[in-house]
Structure 1
Amino acid sequence: MDTMRDRFAPVMTRLLDEDPRVAVVLAEIGKDGFTEARRRHPDRVINIGIREQLLVGAGAGLALTGLRPVVHTFASFLVERPFEQVKLDLGHQDVGAVLVSAAASFDWPAGGFTHMAPGDVALLDTLDGWTVHVPGHPDEAEELLRQAVAAGDDKVYVRLSVQSNAQGLPVDGARFRTVREGRAGVVVAVGPMLDAVLAATEGLDVTVLYAATVRPFDGQALRRATEAAGTDVVLVEPYLAGTSTAAAGDALADVPHRVLGLGVRRRELRRYGTVDEHLTAHGLDAGSLRERIGGFLSASGRPRP
């Protein structure tokens, strides 16, 4: 199966052909996928070199001229390194762009910690007005990318990953999707965490919600799910643990509830390893998730099968 990032250049090439407002801004990474697109649209496919602050600044400048810029590089170089430009050039100037990242939390362990960005979504949470898509399958990535480009002048972050669920689901860029219904708790699986969550909760009497878009947070879907399944909530996210616990708490602010946030731990892993080894070390493999989710639900006093 191809990866989410494999879809990026072909989809963007078609969008460049279809929409004269679309522009792509690169910082070396991914440029080979745009050779033909750059030949056809030399004024709208721009490689600024390894200059990540300029990458975001150039995208903002294009937005000020009325274009719809799509800005791409690794997450650590797209959100963390040029954060001041994301905050000021886009946010303060109130212009939109589509930031499309690769490498996610630890997709390329051999690159070391400089190429990892488990805090990217949490960092964007400090800013106003961002839509954040976290697809769990290449088909979802393609659909959400198209929606992001078509989203007027909004500020959108699309988080691509080599981690993927076995099958894609229909996504609308807004709402959580109910995958399984139960009565003893709610588990929200974000993006590529869904397959592990389904395996971890097999036989447990819980509702599983799937989120491919996490900002805005679909608090209404969470509230509806808790009406039948109770207000014990577990969030399983492929980035920094606890990133969405405040959003879940806000959705349930007027009812007693418990929230457990599972994700990438703050402790830095100083060995390269593999993606699967990082998942296990952070407790995000199916076996670890079952133990942690089961323990949390048992502590509530609710009966479990």
Structure 2
Amino acid sequence: MDTMRDRFIAITSQLLAEEPRLAVVLADISADGFAPARRAHPDRVINVGIREQLLIGAGAGMALTGMRPIVHTFASFLVERPFEQVKLDFGHQGVGGILVSAGGSYDWPAGGFTHMAPGDVALLDTLEGWTVHVPGHPDEAEALLREAVDGDDRVYVRLSLQANREARPVGRSTGSMGSTGSTGSTGFSVVREGRRGTVVAVGPMLDNVLAATEGLDVSVLYATTVRPFDAAGLRRAAGAGPGADAGAGPSADVVIVEPYLAGTSTAAANEALMELPHRVLGLGVGRAELRRYGQMEEHLAAHGLDARGLRERITGFLPA
């Protein structure tokens, strides 16, 4: 299976030939992969070098002219380092664009903490109007990217080497309880139904969540889009949807498993469930810096995001 980043390069190179207003702005990262596209479209594939503030500014400048920029580098250099430019050049100027990151939270541990970005989604959460996609498979990344190219809004697509074994459909409809398997780029899809709690798996965390909850009487929701947050879908899963009987339905205990900073979406979940007695546990990457390089799988285990660690914490939180 190709990686999400491989698919991004291939599909974006294809879309450049189909969409005359599309442009790609790079900061050396993935420049080799985009070399054929740059030869074919030298005015629309721009490499600014290792100048991340300029990367964002150039992309926003293109948006001001009516182009649809795709701006790409590692997450730590795309969101964290040039955050002021993301806030002002896109947000303050009111223009749209697509930020596509690579590297996830710790895809390349040998790169050290400078190349890790577990706080990227939480940081974007401080800004208005950003759609955030976290695909769990290259097919999903492709579908979400194609959808983003058709719009004019501000979109962040977070790519990772970690991926689920199988892709799930990505569309515009919203999943709901009673329609297992339905999905939506703006809503959570229902993968499994149960009555003793709800576990939301974000992007590449789904396989580990399914393994961790095997045999448990819980609902599992899958999210490839975390902003906007699917408040209605979570309420339905928690038994607070339209027509739900008081005291009936699944328990309003919710666990959110995210491949970035733990607790990033707990405020959104609490707001969604504010009219219902509930508890929310946010699982994800811890705040402590792990200073041994190791491998990605070792970082997952150290943060309790492997199947064993997730099962221990989920069963410890949900009622028996």
TM-score class, shorter: over 0.9
Code of the aligned partner of 2:134: V
CA deviations on 1:218-270 (whole Å, 9 max, x unpaired) are: 01110000113221000000000000000001110111110000000001100
| SS of alignment partner, residue 229 of structure 1 | coil
Residue 155 (structure 1) aligns with: 154
| SS of alignment partner, residue 69 of structure 1 | strand
Alignment RMSD:
0.6
| SS of alignment partner, residue 204 of structure 2 | helix
Mark the runs of 5 or more structure 2 residues left unpaired by the alignment: 172-184, 240-248
Residue 178 (structure 1) aligns with: 190
Shift of residue 41 of structure 1?
0.8
Shift of residue 149 of structure 1?
1.1
Q: Distance in 1 between matches of 2:97 and 2:227?
A: 15
Shift of residue 282 of structure 1?
0.3
Q: Distance in 2 between matches of 1:178 and 1:213?
A: 14
Identity percentage over the alignment? 74
Residue 100 (structure 2) aligns with: 100
Instruction: Give structure 1 regions of 4+ aligned residues with deviation exceeding 2 angstroms.
Output: none
Residue of 220, 224, 227 corresponding to 1:215: 227
Residue 205 (structure 1) aligns with: 217
Shift of residue 8 of structure 1?
1.1
Code of the aligned partner of 1:180: R
Residue 258 (structure 1) aligns with: 279
| SS of alignment partner, residue 98 of structure 1 | strand
Within-5 A mapping of 1:232-271: 232-271=253-292
Residue 66 (structure 1) aligns with: 66
Q: Distance in 1 between matches of 2:115 and 2:82?
A: 14
Residue 301 (structure 1) aligns with: none
Q: Distance in 2 between matches of 1:3 and 1:230?
A: 37
Q: Distance in 2 between matches of 1:23 and 1:6?
A: 18
Code of the aligned partner of 1:7: R
Is residue 15 of structure 1 aligned with residue 18 of structure 2? no
Q: Distance in 1 between matches of 2:266 and 2:119?
A: 14
Code of the aligned partner of 2:315: G
CA deviations on 1:4-23 (whole Å, 9 max, x unpaired) are: 00101110011100010100
Mark the runs of 5 or more structure 1 residues left unpaired by the alignment: 299-303
Shift of residue 24 of structure 1?
0.2
| SS of alignment partner, residue 260 of structure 2 | strand
Residue 123 (structure 2) aligns with: 123
Is residue 275 of structure 1 aligned with residue 287 of structure 2? no
Number of residue pairs the alignment of both structures matches? 298
CA deviations on 1:136-193 (whole Å, 9 max, x unpaired) are: 0010011111111112x10000000000000000012211000000000000000000
- Given the two structures, how large is their TM-score scaled by the length of structure 1? 0.97
Shift of residue 40 of structure 1?
1.2
- Given the two structures, how large is their TM-score scaled by the length of structure 2? 0.92
Q: Distance in 2 between matches of 1:225 and 1:7?
A: 33
Shift of residue 39 of structure 1?
1.2
